[in-house]
Amino acid sequence: MMEENSRERLDTDNEAGGEDALVGNVNKLMITPPGYTGPPKKGHVIFDACFESGNLGRVDYISEFEFDLFIRPDTCNPRFRVWFNFTVENVRETQRVIFNIVNFSKTKSLYRDGMSPVVKSTSRPKWQRLPAKNVYYYRCPDHRRNYVMSFAFCFDREDDVYQFAYCYPYTYSRLQHYLASLERRNLDYLQREQLGLSVQQRRLDLLTITNPAHLNQEREKRVVFLTARVHPGESPASFICQGFIDFLVSQHPTAQVLRDHVIFKIVPMLNPDGVYLGNYRCSLMGFDLNRHWQDPSPWAHPTLHAVKQLIVQMSQDPKVSLEFYIDVHAHSTMMNGFMYGNVFEEEDRVQRQAVFPRLLCQNAPDFSLSSTTFNRDLVKAGTGRRFLGGLLDDTSYCYTLEVSFYSYLTAGTTSPVPYTEDGYMKLGRNVARTFVDYYKLNNLTDESKHTGHINSTSDGTSTSHQGNTTGNGKVKGDRKPHGVRDY
């Protein structure tokens, strides 16, 4: 009867999963059986999401072993409910539970393909994925046939605090500590500056990585611009960005050559408020910033406004050649890394735009050329890739770099390889390495020319061997390149 009453109460909620009740995150919420009036006991689990990047809006007791969990929607925007990140404590040793996350806003999900949430605990602080066999994704009749993700878990240490999340979190504070550690190294080829502030007065950081001689105002400048985390729940983008930065500031001979020939401008976190608040898609005020590039407001979208101003200013400087803009994202339904590019009428420009993804495919075994697509969907008109593709001249290339929240397949295999934090960073390092191939700088490094992907380690060392092409090696889109032009 108690279980029926709990389910019945949910049926009265609206279709979004009772979001009217989700005004904030749960705060040290102890769940006891209905009607229980005695003292708290071990096993009366305590849920908490009142911490940076936390998200859990409500918990319903279903039985001693089962709990319904509700994602808190993005602030000021109830449409987006995907990211979750919460802790559980006051558990009983060997206590077994089933957690049902019942109000996802998306129906299509990598949970159907074997993805699982990540978990860590105080005694085991390294994030790991739950076993896929313990995770179920299905239409649930108790929740108006909405999709539910259920996972079973057994707590094994009473004194541990357990943390569960949609994917490996990468918080605003983690970024600030990382950037501060870079600054302390006093590298003459790294500059950190505050480009602006968010609505809640968090830093919008800009890194410039290059040989300082390039910053001479009289010199012509070749610029590569990279941004990440415009969508705050897409935490893999931050690991890619950190891998990209780590390689460029390393003493690796390839990194030194790149710094001698290119100016790298990096905005690691375009939406710091959304990241801090535990949103999935939106800013504090409920805006999807990646739909507002055409006319960002200095008060509603200050971080986007500041980055756009800088890029427009650079595009108008005759001594600056802004050759690449890459916006890094994570994808909730596809495998591997891949890119979105723009559609052009000129066949020559179409083919030139295909060069970088082809080279990246040779360097990164997890990058899929067959999933790389060139499009001009109207719904994407306000994105950085589409807007800047129209603003910049025909020597500039604008891409969205996507990576799976879950895994990648390599050529000739059928078993997906789940991404780890370092796996995402490795993709970032390989993106950086690809500019050596693009600019044909291999003969300037101390390494022999490589013909395959690079297994870079976290300190920038690497080994080269034959790369793999994922899929059929073609680039999908409105126009298909017929080859790569040597230019």
Question: Of these residues, 64, 402, 421, 447, which one is catalytic?
Answer: 402
Cα–Cα distances in angstroms (integers) from residue 4 to residues 10, 71, 265, in the given order: 10, 22, 57
Distance CA 329, CA 221 (A): 27
Distance CA 420, CA 406 (A): 9
| CA nearest neighbour of 46 among 158, 156, 142 | 158
Question: Which residues, in sequence order, are CB contacts of 9 under 8 Å at separation 6+?
Answer: 60
| CA nearest neighbour of 220 among 331, 83, 125, 320 | 320
Distance CA 153, CA 174 (A): 28
Distance CA 266, CA 245 (A): 8
> Radius of gyration over alpha carbons of the chain, in Å?
24
Instruction: Spell out where 229-319 has E strands.
Output: 263-267
Other Cβ atoms within 10 Å of 182 Cβ, number:
17
CB-CB contact of 119 with 128 (8 Å): yes
Distance CA 261, CA 253 (A): 13
Distance CA 332, CA 110 (A): 6
Active site residue 402: yes
Alpha helices per DSSP H over 115-206 = 172-184
CB-CB contact of 189 with 212 (8 Å): yes
Distance CA 183, CA 411 (A): 40
Amino acid at 103: N
Give catalytic residue positions: 402
